[in-house]
Structure 1
Amino acid sequence: MKEFKNAVELLTLCTEKNLPISEIMRQREIILGETTAEDVDARMARVLEIMKDAAFSPVKKPVKSMGGLIGGEAKKLSLHQTSGKSICGNLLDDAITYAMATLETNASMGLIVASPTAGSAGIVPGLLLAVQKHYHFSDEQIQQALFNAGAIGYLAMRNATVAGAVGGCQAETGIAAAMAASAATELLGGTSKQCTYAASTVLMNMLGLVCDPVGGLVEYPCQNRNAAGVANALVAAEMALAGITQLIPLDEMINVMYTVGKKLPAELRETALGGCATAPSACKSCHMCS
């Protein structure tokens, strides 16, 4: 199978092989990794296992972060949902809860899957695990969808960045949400083209988001932005599945995101020297400047 370097080439392969994005990416892993299908599938099964534990454990047993800025938020969301007072709907409620829980796991030195980074690790599992719960997909189907997410992440890493220090939070939670939106779109019956529309929509909606972690820690506002990112991904998938197209294709949107990210001042690219990190209340809470 030919290598793909951008979304146009990826979609061409999907058409030529009559395969979804997920299977194109899965076969790429087998061929370029010079390994077997069984090994690739086993590794992805392990990825899903880690994602589940990171997303579910803090809901049952809240954990405090190493920096002390977050901990227990996922449990609060879960209790709010079961109280019957939720306004988001059960699927989005679960997605937000799992996303925030994963960040609690990460910030307490637990095991997570960087998807594509630790600071954005809640978005892909948050959405896919919620979709699995409400649409009763098997683990094997979710594992396949993760290959789709991986393809979008690969395109971003090859042609732009997923590092907050380079492109701001739009490059971390933005790409993570694009990955989640594309994977969910395929999982729910969307075409490969619709997957790229969903990913492009997300990047458009999160364009310009800065990276400003309080105290330089991957805790706050990172956890909140994972919640916002998973909601954005769900909106984008819904739009794509409804047949809404995008004027700006994914390749161009990735380039736009990268260009905007490089124009962000250093203070807004993970240095904790601007944005939320410099708010008086944030400085008082983190004790890093005293």
Structure 2
Amino acid sequence: MIFANKGKELVEICNRENISIAEYCIRYEMENSDLSREEVIEAMKKNLDVMKDSANFAINNDVKSVSGLIGGDAKKIKKYADNNKSLSGEVMIKAMARASSSSEVNAAMGRIVAAPTAGSCGILPSVIITAGEQLNSSDEEMVKGLFTAAGVGNIIAQNATLAGAAGGCQAECGSAAAMGAAAAVEMMGGTPDMALHAASIVFKNILGLVCDPIAGLVEVPCAKRNIAGAVSALTTADLAMAGVKSVIPFDEVVDAMYRVGKQLPSELRETAKGGLAITPTGLKLEEQIMGRKCGK
């Protein structure tokens, strides 16, 4: 079985067979791995377990990145949520805290799931776990959400890029948010077509986002972009479920993202030679961090 190459093809197959994107991906794994359904689901469940750990660890524990650039924000967000005075509500605040937690765990050399990359590792866990909590989903239902996300990520990878070095942060956090939005839609009972509309809208809203890490480390502004990506995915899932559609089809949006990524100068693609990385403060922090690493 060859995986669908385009989003349009994926939706057509799902509609013809009356299955979800998640189910299509499960069947694909079963056929191409010689594993049973139970084994395929159990393998993905292990990813969910790691995601749960990383999404919660920094909320409840003091975490500091190796460089010292980030750490402690997840706990701050959780404490703020406990005051019940936020503008964005409990669901969004929890999503923010979870996205921040995974990013902080990653920067502290902890264990995460790079879905689709380490730099965007906070988005998908936050979306799946927060949506699952709000929907009273079982672990198996959340696992199916991860399969949906994997299917969308596969289409993006075949036709564009998931790497910040190749396409900017739109390719990393953008792809993660698109994957999360699609997953949340199917978890809510939406159709494959609605899932891809959600993914399309996410991409359109993040198109052109550069990758400009301070000191070349996946910490600043990466962690806060994970927070923004998680929020975007959840709100966009609601748009799709309300019947809002993307005017530009998913496949064309992915193609546009790839073109924009290739048009970005190298300074804005993970080299730390442009954007926030070369602000006065960014350069000062780089000097401090590099000096510390060299033992100065």
Normalised by the length of structure 1, the TM-score is 0.98
For residues 33 and 67 of structure 2, the distance between their equivalents in structure 1, rounded to whole angstroms, comes to: 38
> 1:240-263 CA deviation, whole Å, 9 max, x = no partner?
000011111111100000000000
The equivalent residue for 2:69 is 69
Aligned letter for 1:62?
D
The equivalent residue for 2:273 is 273
Aligned letter for 2:129?
L
For residues 246 and 161 of structure 1, the distance between their equivalents in structure 2, rounded to whole angstroms, comes to: 21
The equivalent residue for 1:192 is 192
Aligned letter for 1:49?
D
Q: After TM superposition, list the pairs within 5 Å mapping 1:250-261 onto structure 2.
A: 250-261=250-261
Query: Offset at 1:221?
Result: 0.2
Query: Offset at 1:2?
Result: 5.5
Q: SS in structure 1 opposite 2:161?
A: coil
For residues 50 and 259 of structure 2, the distance between their equivalents in structure 1, rounded to whole angstroms, comes to: 34
Query: Offset at 1:289?
Result: 6.6
In the alignment, is the contact (CA less than 8 A) between 2:10 and 2:21 conserved in 1?
yes
Q: Which runs of 5+ in 1 are unaligned?
A: none
> 1:187-233 CA deviation, whole Å, 9 max, x = no partner?
01111100000000000000000000000000010001001111111
Percent sequence identity over aligned pairs: 44
Q: After TM superposition, list the pairs within 5 Å mapping 1:89-108 onto structure 2.
A: 89-108=89-108
Question: Where in structure 1 do 4 or more consecutive aligned residues deviate above 6 Å?
Answer: none
Residue 214 (str. 1) matches residue 208 (str. 2): no
Query: Offset at 1:58?
Result: 0.7
Give the root-mean-square deviation of aligned CA atoms.
Answer: 1.1
For residues 98 and 220 of structure 1, the distance between their equivalents in structure 2, rounded to whole angstroms, comes to: 17
Q: Which runs of 5+ in 2 are unaligned?
A: 292-296
Residue 114 (str. 1) matches residue 121 (str. 2): no
For residues 284 and 86 of structure 1, the distance between their equivalents in structure 2, rounded to whole angstroms, comes to: 34
Residue 123 (str. 1) matches residue 117 (str. 2): no
The equivalent residue for 1:23 is 23
Q: After TM superposition, list the pairs within 5 Å mapping 1:92-241 onto structure 2.
A: 92-241=92-241
> 1:118-157 CA deviation, whole Å, 9 max, x = no partner?
0001111111111122221111100011000000111111
Aligned letter for 1:47?
N
Aligned letter for 1:141?
E
The equivalent residue for 1:41 is 41
Query: Offset at 1:237?
Result: 0.6
Aligned letter for 1:217?
L
For residues 17 and 125 of structure 1, the distance between their equivalents in structure 2, rounded to whole angstroms, comes to: 29
Normalised by the length of structure 2, the TM-score is 0.96
For residues 49 and 264 of structure 1, the distance between their equivalents in structure 2, rounded to whole angstroms, comes to: 36
Aligned pairs, number: 290
> 1:55-97 CA deviation, whole Å, 9 max, x = no partner?
1011000210011100000000000010122111111111111
Aligned letter for 2:183?
A
For residues 162 and 2 of structure 2, the distance between their equivalents in structure 1, rounded to whole angstroms, comes to: 24
